[in-house]
Amino acid sequence: MQNKKIDIWLLLAVIIISVFGIIMIYSASSIWAAYKFQDSLKFVKSQTIFFLLSLFICLTIIKIPPNFWLKHANKILGICFILLILVLIPGIGSVRNGSRSWFGLGGFGIQPSEFAKLGLIIYVSKYLSTNEKNIKNIKKGVFPLLGIIFIFFALIMLEPDFGTAMVIVLTLLSLIFISGVKLSFFIKIGLLGLLGIVALIIVAPYRLTRIISFLNPWSDPLGSGFQIIQSLYAIGPGGLLGQGFLKSHQKHFYLPEPQTDFIFSIISEEFGFLGVLIVVSFFLFIFYRSLKISLKAKDLFSKYLSFGLAIGLLIQAILNLSVVIGLIPVTGVTLPFFSYGGSSLLTSFISIGLLLRISKETNK
């Protein structure tokens, strides 16, 4: 009799931190939601709906074999490409926080760049698994792939959404790296990347302001440095055990929209170092279980896909936590499973669904 069990520990870990995330969204957003919408549960209701929807989709994806994604990888990438173009068209795409990166659907918003991230991971996994012999030839094997990645990067930067673009690039470069491409190639790519960042700063000077405020937030404490200063004010008093649940001071109109990118600041303030340790431990556990699935995967496509999904979640979490504690400039990257946002939660659960299906295939 075949054993067809999924990695139940991975699923449980994700459900636990998602529920904890909803609880923290209530704590972080209740004051602001009551003031703006006269409903302290406004954000919690939306996130709970997306959580249930995401969990349902995750459990549905577990039933779909990896070959389906391999077969339709090109179509999925094409749909993502069309969505990224449509969102840039005024009247179709909605502007939020200065970026035209959303489709407005009633009171909800869908961010196509989040789905493009998944589409690219699936496509690149297929490309690497079906071009194994050519991948070490940089011109024939890697350059065409980099061309596709650059096109998507450019479309996302037109929104602009620098944070998601960086998560995508770092994730896909990690995938290409494990395929066996020489390290010297990545050194050259890194140098080109630095030049590209300089060019992006020249094109959009506000990015230079972000970097200056990162190096010295007090150079503009009421402007570009305000958010990181308020974040550090939240983290600092947390101590070992925190101020206590619902007792954050910074959520009282000091830290802007704390339920989104800076929710970790509120977790740190209310639960202290213990809360930080719990959150980091869960992410490391999720990465460990996902990496284990990747190492045991039976075919090359599943190995690349599971690794890409695992490293993508880890990179996004690391970037978010680095911003919150002031290690890197503000990028606008959400904390997976915690930050308020339907698109982020949905794509994170889709990633877990794909990982669980691969684990099921492995356990047969």
Look at residues 134, 71, 11, 61 and name the one whose alpha carbon lies nearest to residue 301.
Answer: 71
The arithmetic mean of pLDDT across residues 217-231, rounded, is: 83
Res 185: pLDDT: 84
Look at residues 331, 264, 317 and name the one whose alpha carbon lies nearest to residue 287.
Answer: 317
Q: Give the contacts of 323 (CB within 8 A, at least 6 positions apart).
A: 228, 261, 329, 330, 331, 333
Res 364: pLDDT: 61
Question: 349 to each of 35, 155, 160, 206, how far by Cα in Å?
Answer: 31, 24, 25, 33
Q: What percent of the chain has pLDDT over 70?
A: 96
**Dist. CA 330–CA 136, nearest whole Å:** 36
Res 1: pLDDT: 36
Res 340: pLDDT: 94
The DSSP secondary structure of 178-232, one letter per residue, reads HTT--HHHHHHHHHHHHHHHHHHHHH-THHHHHHHHHH-GGGSTTTTTHHHHHHH
**Dist. CA 264–CA 272, nearest whole Å:** 11
Q: Poorest-confidence range of 52-66, 75-89, 212-226, 247-261?
A: 212-226
Res 80: pLDDT: 96
The arithmetic mean of pLDDT across residues 94-101, rounded, is: 79
**Dist. CA 212–CA 225, nearest whole Å:** 9
Look at residues 344, 259, 359 and name the one whose alpha carbon lies nearest to residue 302.
Answer: 359
CA atoms within 13 A on the CB side of 61: 23
The arithmetic mean of pLDDT across residues 4-32, rounded, is: 94
Q: What percent of the chain has pLDDT over 90?
A: 65
What residue has token string 């039933």?
63
The arithmetic mean of pLDDT across residues 106-125, rounded, is: 89
Cis peptide before 112 (omega within 30 of 0): no
Helix H or strand E segment including 110: strand 108-110
Q: Poorest-confidence range of 14-23, 187-196, 233-242?
A: 187-196
**pTM for this prediction:** 0.92
Res 106: pLDDT: 63
Q: What is the mean pLDDT of the chain?
A: 90
Summarised one tens digit per residue, pLDDT across range 230-283 is 999 999 888 999 999 999 999 998 998 899 999 999 999 999 999 999 999 999
Backbone φ and ψ for 61, nearest 5 degrees, come out as: -65, -30
**Dist. CA 41–CA 39, nearest whole Å:** 5
**Bridge partners, residue 95, by sequence:** 100
The arithmetic mean of pLDDT across residues 287-316, rounded, is: 96
Q: How is residue 127 written in tokens? A: 């490309």
